[in-house]
Amino acid sequence: MGIFPDITTNLGDYVEEFVGFLDTRFKPLFDFIYLFSSDIINGIEALLLWMPWWAFILIIVLLGWYFKSLVSGIIYGIFIFLIGTFGLWEDLMITIAIVLTAVIISLAIGIPLGIWMAFSKGFSTVMRPILDAMQTMPSFVYLIPAIFFFGLGNVSAIFATLIYAVPPVIRLTELAIRGVDKEVIESAQSFGSSRFQMLNKIQLPQALPTIMAGVNQTTMMALAMVVIASMVGAQGLGEQVLVSINRIDISLGFEAGISIVFLAIIIDRVTGGVADKLQKHRRINE
């Protein structure tokens, strides 16, 4: 019995009915999303597993060298090599495929929404509490509709990851577009530039470093969902962490956990390096 026995609400029941309505009414759409996401994951995974291990490590070293330094690139290569020595190479490739798919879809949705919010105060006012809820809602809650719509597997993991990871790129894209120098915009308007021309030629190039910071945050949050997503059948390093918990296997837990840490460091440094490069390029042009 609750503290208000005579006052009850059935909000949860209404939400359940709404989700059931969506599943029935838009089943073809969810089937399309399932097939589309599966194709992307399987394609990226097949490409990564087809690639020789030394070629993948070389790419990581070159990325680290270009965006940070040669020493950083070598360290990143050693990290990937160590993950292979743990016997987790295939799990690493699956995890990268899941994270990349989630990030690609997040950016395809998040950047246009962020631009729309920057141009429409009304839409921004509506979206902000929604984004707040998406970021503060416990991550495990996202797993329930994911299973309901897509069943167990990697697609459910992407759906749950998408809800958790997309808000940063939306917020930072809006912030970046709104932060473009008004004098530059007014100058472009005085020369008769259309809204699309201003967005394409002025606002997006000026905002790109901040947008890349949003890409970095979205990518890191997608990676943070790896272990949680394993609870809905996602494969990869997160699954190995879950297995180690069930078996109380300290060795496997440490190796899978440190592999996720290595991957997070590499992704954070490389995407951060991309943002730094863009910022330097912008300053040179100015």
CATH number at residue 130: 1.10.3720.10
The answer as to whether 38 is a domain residue is yes
Q: What's the confidence (pLDDT) of residue 192? A: 67
- State residue 12's pLDDT score: 67
Verdict on whether the full-model pTM lies above 0.85: no
- Give the residue-averaged pLDDT of 145-166: 80
* Residue 234: strand, helix, or coil: coil
Task: Give tens-digit pLDDT for 6-60.
Answer: 666 666 677 777 777 777 777 787 788 888 888 888 888 888 889 898 899 999 9
pLDDT at 284 over 60: no
Is the pLDDT reported for residue 179 higher than 80? no
| C-alpha to C-alpha distance for 201 and 193, rounded to whole angstroms | 10
In a domain, 162, yes or no: yes
Q: Which of 1-15, 81-95, 118-132, 223-237 has the lowest average pLDDT?
A: 1-15
Q: Is residue 138 part of a domain?
A: yes
Structurally, the chain folds into a number of domains equal to 1
Domain that holds residue 33: 11-50+86-285
How far is 82 from 89, CA to CA, in rounded Å? 9
Total count of residues recorded for the chain? 286
Give the count of beta carbons closer than 10 Å to the beta carbon of residue 206.
19
Q: Is residue 200 part of a domain?
A: yes
Residue 220 gets the label, from left (phi > 0), alpha (psi -120 to 50) or beta, of alpha
Residues 137-162, mean pLDDT to the nearest whole number? 78
**Rounded Cα–Cα distance for residues 236 and 259 (Å):** 11
- pLDDT score for 82: 92
| Degrees, nearest 5: CA angle 275-281-282 | 90
Maximum distance among all Cα pairs of the chain, rounded to whole angstroms: 69
Mean pLDDT, range 250-268, rounded to an integer: 88
Decide if 227 is inside a domain: yes
Residue 191 has pLDDT above 60, yes or no: yes
Bigger pLDDT: 126 vs 143: 126
From the list 248, 225, 247, the residue with the least C-alpha distance to 236 is 225
Hunting for tokens 């809800």 — which residue is that? Answer: 163
Whether 3 maps to a domain, the answer reads no
User: CA distances (Å), 12 to each of 8, 17, 133, 234, 272, in order?
Assistant: 11, 9, 16, 27, 41
Single-letter residue type at 21: F
How far from 179 is each of 44, 144, 163, 271, CA to CA, in Å? 35, 37, 26, 21
User: Chain-wide mean pLDDT for the chain?
Assistant: 81
- Residue 135 in any domain: the answer is yes
Q: Confirm whether 232 is domain-assigned.
A: yes
